[in-house]
Structure 1
Amino acid sequence: MTDLKDVSAFPEALQPKRYDGYKSYSYLEAGADYRVWPLARELNRVPSRRPSVTPEQEARVRRLFRDELMISLHDHCFVAPEDLSQFLEFRRWGRDFTGYEGLSVSGLDAVFDNLMNGTAMITSRGGWKWDDVVYDLGMRLSDIAHQEMVVHCKTTEDIVNAKKSGQIAFVVSIEGAAMIENELDRLDILYGLGVRCLGIAYSEGNQLGGGLKEPRDGGLTVFGRQAVRRMNKLGIAIDVSHSGDQTALDTVEVSDKPIFITHAGARALWNSNRLKPDDVIRACAEKGGVIGIEAAPHTTLTERHPRHSIESYMEHFEYCVNLVGIDHVAFGPDALFGDHVGLHHALTEALSIGASRGHLSYEEVEYVDGIENPAEAFGNIVRWLVTHGYSDTDIAKATGGNVMRVLKEAWYR
């Protein structure tokens, strides 16, 4: 096993973590206690390219990773199976394999991990059921409890302590609240189970409000308004990434605390319901909230860069910075370990992929060059920022400071 406290043992690591080689469910017997699935490679799966930097710039990048908080506002840090035609069967077993090796070299101090959400289909082919979500959460946290590098995060202090101790804070997030149905107290239960960020709706409307795929968005329901107020009281951060525009605006208005758009981009650059119009981004920022820029394949495209890569991704970042200021923009790459494009093909209906596509033509890519998985995303983002003239202060805000500011208001502690 490799001890990454010695950075020379693994030169790719931007900031060494306390990784001892643990693989998911190593405490069980593979093939006897659970079915074995060949999984994708966590590192160097595809020839994704780094932004070109000088040795001096790379030294600055590494100093930033050493000194500043690095927080991903949205990712799925699981490892997908190699054979995606079997993905639904893989999911029905309920065991997600966290990419610990990839995370160990990511430089991240905290990650908002969104589990498998609507693809948790142990009891339902439709997903988003209470039993499935709780099963998904419990299984993942059981695995995390058996290793030392990733720690279940419940407070802002946990994030600070994780960085100090060479660990990664795992913030449990869920992208939509359909599973609470009309039971307000289920929010308390989710909080008690360690959930610290919750979306209003995942594309399809639910009891709380409208999703982005609905033909008409009626905004937050009366129950949705109650749910927002309960989340404020509990200390659950609120996300409107997949909500309809009116529902997002209503949520900003009703919430006493700043909210997140954890993973999206600017619709002004690409005409897709998956991205947010200027008025929603502005409203979020005016209440102190933050938008995290999304990098899932074929989302943050632009007319200048219709082939998805880190360049189109960062164009959305700069647009939002110019629109609302550096204090209200962060990064939520929405990456995973494995073939993300292939996964979208396998799960088109479950993930409402059709609703996430823009109305402009684009070339499908095999992967998002430069920001393909959680192991490389933040390193390349910071390299891009360094080479494009951003100050250390502004980089620190975008990579973690802005998120921490919102959490200190939105969380109970």
Structure 2
Amino acid sequence: MSLEVRTVTESEFPDWSRALDTGFLNPPVGVDEVIAERLARADLDRTRGAFDQGRCVATFRSFAQELTVVGGAVLPADAVTNVSVSPTHRRRGLLGRMMAADLTAAKERGDAVATLISAEYPIYGRYGFGPAAGVAEWAIDVPRTGLDPRWSGPVDGGRIDLADAADVRKLGPELYERLRLRQPGATDRDERWWQINTGEAPTGRPWVEPFHAVYRSASGEVEGLATYTADDQWGDGKQPKNTASVRKLIAVSPRAERALWQFLCSIDWITTVRTGFRAPDDLLPHFLPDPRAARIVTQADFLWVRILDAVRALEARTYAVPGTVVLDIHDRAELAGGRFRLEAGPDGASCVTTTESPDLVLDVRELGALYLGDESVLRLVALGAVSEERPGAAAVAERLFRTPRRPWCPDVF
């Protein structure tokens, strides 16, 4: 029998949820409250599954999202998540069918881009996604940092206060909005995100209540928030060897970042701080007197972007310098391909279709990788992923697209 790929009904959602847990190697939840919570987050018109004789064997979901691009503009995005194929039904084109249906609907809906967090690298390039923002994680060896062990608070007139989950739900959303509207690669957080990440909404996983610390400036304004947990490890001779693991740390000023990291490194019994996923060029190591005390333990791709509307996407962001380049974009799915003349600069851009000879030829996945300013045109030319048709065009595009600071997506979705 042929496999049926379609949207999921409410009555089928528990089976869809079971298939999702199977694909992610998680024990099936089966708890009515958790299934109801998942269903409340799902738009069934954007929740797809593959069915074999009525049993769900593959899952796919998308939701409305906003993506901050270079210059601070916000684009409507199709956020792809919950992608799985059961191990019994791999290599049958199920993901391709679900992806094609979703991206076509997103294009018709008016989304300019699609986004996802890729669990595995090789999968999504063939659907036009490119790795647009990476992450890094550091392990800080606290005794090596050179920080003053007698530190008792910020010296800039600010202060750090411990907070609870209710405080975070009250203070966090406004603080995050200030951050995400200035951070290329950041996405929006709705009320449910704050409920889930403060333990107010069930997830089916054991909830460990974390600690929260808030940084306030000398004027009393909230500028930073850190959420962290700690283990209970002791060595020989009753020496503490505890690790503080940061779940989230957001800040809208370097002084807030510095103060929160110093606070985390000053907690009694903590000898290691795991930073969680940060931007690859995070300031953290250089807040420490000895930057080598912060050792990179993870460095990888993270947010992937798929351009759905080349004109809207390219016109939405700003560019480092004035310049013009003709791009010939190939897109096998015929969603965003074509030849475009991009005239761009710090104040914005104009992008129109053209019949002029191309300066650069590239696949839509490479455009996605370049879009937020993280990837290098010159590097992609050297790798053979972009073809330079006019000498010097790659250098022009390099100056246009690259950004001084790297993009960063603070959240997994």
In the superposition, the TM-score normalised over structure 1's length comes to 0.29
In the superposition, the TM-score normalised over structure 2's length comes to 0.29
Larger Cα Rg: Structure 1 or Structure 2? 2
Kindly indicate which of the two structures has a greater share of residues assigned to strand. 2
Kindly indicate which of the two structures has a greater share of residues assigned to helix. 1
